[in-house]
């Protein structure tokens, strides 16, 4: 319990987090996905979604050149379309933070860095802390950490809590996103429990996945996490952000996610301060849809830059 924030809170016993009925969640999600989002609300929603993207490249083969290109794209999504918003952030490995920070300059776009031995998190705590401090020192505005899924599944919730709290301290001013890697947690009960541990330990955001494990950001998982955020807010008055990541590549699914945010935690979360999409190819699909709304016809994918 190192985090200063956690001292003010009544930390619950994480063995007894609320249970989740999977069938019920599936029904609710199906209901949300039957919402019809058309015309102005569709355009408005897609622009909002663009502005919530963490444009991501997390590959072993990433180079400074590749990151620079991505940063240019982040600021110039599609110059043929006037008054488009920019994305929220660019998400990279710690070694690329400096390059990204420089390339983005004073555009207002944040640099997010994964850390804590991303994606597996299989490293000792001191190395995770060093990894985080390095990213922050390089200029990262946001840190995306992974939880220790092995410890979580073994029932060592205190270990997971303390680790998140320690990383939070190492983040300093940087906002902390805690990746639960829900594909490895398997059940929605576990997703709920991990969400609570992360929030009470000081997470600014909770995030579904690394993008390296399937399934990633399913609507069911995001719904479960949003309901946890809502309950946490009702209890503590503290807003926590949500970031589904991995598998959201179509604008329709992004819009369904937004309507889910609206109907669970409410309109206050419909802002990139509180909601993000971790995605690489979503931006282009939204751009294609936006242009289609203007012209009435789908353009070839070749008209949209692939970075």
Partner 1 sequence: MAKNKQQKAKASKKKTWDLSPAPESTSHVQLKKKYELYIDGKWVKPTSGKYFPSINPGNEEKIADVAHADAKDVDKAVKAARKAYDNVWSKMSGKERGKYLFRIARMIQERAREFAVIESMDGGKPIRESRDVDVPLAANHFFYYAGWADKLEFAFPNRKVEALGVAGQIIPWNFPLLMAAWKIAPALATGNTIVIKPAETTSLTALKLAELIHEAGVPPGVVNVVTGFGDTGAEIVNHPDVNKVAFTGSTNVGKLIQNAIAGTKKKSTLELGGKSANIIFEDAPIDQAVEGIVNGIFFNQGHVCCAGSRLFVQEGVADQVIKKLKNRLDHLYIGDPLDKNTDVGAINSKEQLDTIRKYIEIGKNEGNDIYESSCNMPSKGYFCKPTLVLNVAQSSKLVQEEIFGPVLTVQTFRTVDEVIQKANNTPYGLAAGVWTDKGSKIFNLTGKLRAGVIWANTYNRFDPVSPFGGYKESGFGREGGLHGLEAYVKLA
Applying CB under 8 A, the residues found at the interface with partner 1 are 8, 18-21, 23-25, 27-28, 34-42, 44-45, 48, 227, 234, 237-239, 258-259, 262-263, 267-271, 273-274
- Closer to partner 1 by CB, 16 or 61: give it: 16
Cβ at position 277, least distance to partner 1 in Å:
15
**Backbone phi, then psi, for 135, in 5-degree steps?**
-60, -40
139: left (phi > 0), else alpha (psi -120 to 50), else beta? left
Cβ at position 266, least distance to partner 1 in Å:
8
Residue 212 appears among annotated catalytic residues: no
Catalytic-labelled residue, pool 101, 177, 207, 285: 207
Cβ at position 296, least distance to partner 1 in Å:
17
- Closer to partner 1 by CB, 47 or 250: give it: 47
Residue 164, CB-side half-sphere exposure with 13 Å CA sphere: 33
Residue 243 appears among annotated catalytic residues: yes
- Closer to partner 1 by CB, 234 or 302: give it: 234
CA dihedral 138, 143, 149, 153 (to 10 degrees): 140
Catalytic-labelled residue, pool 73, 98, 168, 243: 243
CA-angle at 266, arms to 142 and 293, nearest 5°: 85
192 near 20, Cβ under 8 Å? Answer: yes
Cβ at position 49, least distance to partner 1 in Å:
11
- Closer to partner 1 by CB, 36 or 295: give it: 36
Catalytic-labelled residue, pool 101, 128, 131, 144: 144
Residue 144 appears among annotated catalytic residues: yes
* Nearest Cα residue to 48 out of 273, 204, 248: 273
Cβ at position 108, least distance to partner 1 in Å:
16
187 near 220, Cβ under 8 Å? Answer: no
- Closer to partner 1 by CB, 22 or 76: give it: 22
Residue 97, CB-side half-sphere exposure with 13 Å CA sphere: 24
Q: Residue by residue, what is the 3-state secondary structure of 201-249?
A: CCCCEEECCCCCCCCCCCHHHHHHHHHHHHHHHHHHCCCCEEECECCCC
With b meaning 16 or more CB within 10 Å and e meaning fewer, what string describes 291-304?
beeeeeeeeeeeeb
Residues marked as catalytic: 144, 207, 243
């Amino acid at each position: 319990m190192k985090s200063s924030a956690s001292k003010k809170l009544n930390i619950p016993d994480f063995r007894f987090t609320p249970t989740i009925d999977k069938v019920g969640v599936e029904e609710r999600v199906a209901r949300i996905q039957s919402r019809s989002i058309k015309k102005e609300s569709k355009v408005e929603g897609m622009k909002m979604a663009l502005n919530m993207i963490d444009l991501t490249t997390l590959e072993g083969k990433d180079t400074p050149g590749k990151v620079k290109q991505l940063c240019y794209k982040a600021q110039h999504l599609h110059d043929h379309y006037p008054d488009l918003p920019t994305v929220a952030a660019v998400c990279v490995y710690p070694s690329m933070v400096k390059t990204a920070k420089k390339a983005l300059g004073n555009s207002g776009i944040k640099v997010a860095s994964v850390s804590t031995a991303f994606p597996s998190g299989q490293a000792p705590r001191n190395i995770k802390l060093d990894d985080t401090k390095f990213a922050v020192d390089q200029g990262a505005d946001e840190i995306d950490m992974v939880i220790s899924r092995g410890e979580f599944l073994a029932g060592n919730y205190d270990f997971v809590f303390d680790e998140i709290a320690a990383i939070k301290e190492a983040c300093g001013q940087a906002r902390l996103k805690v990746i639960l890697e829900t594909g490895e947690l398997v059940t929605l009960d576990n997703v709920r429990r991990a969400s609570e541990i992360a929030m009470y330990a000081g997470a600014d955001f909770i995030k579904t996945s690394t993008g390296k494990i399937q399934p990633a950001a399913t609507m069911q998982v995001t719904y479960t996490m949003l309901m946890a955020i809502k309950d946490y807010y009702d209890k503590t008055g503290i807003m926590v952000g949500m970031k589904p990541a991995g598998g959201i590549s179509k604008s329709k699914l992004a819009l369904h996610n937004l309507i889910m945010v609206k109907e669970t935690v409410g309109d206050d979360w419909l802002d990139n301060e509180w909601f993000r999409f971790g995605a690489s190819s979503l931006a282009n699909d939204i751009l294609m849809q936006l242009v289609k709304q203007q012209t009435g016809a789908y353009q070839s994918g070749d008209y949209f830059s692939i970075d």
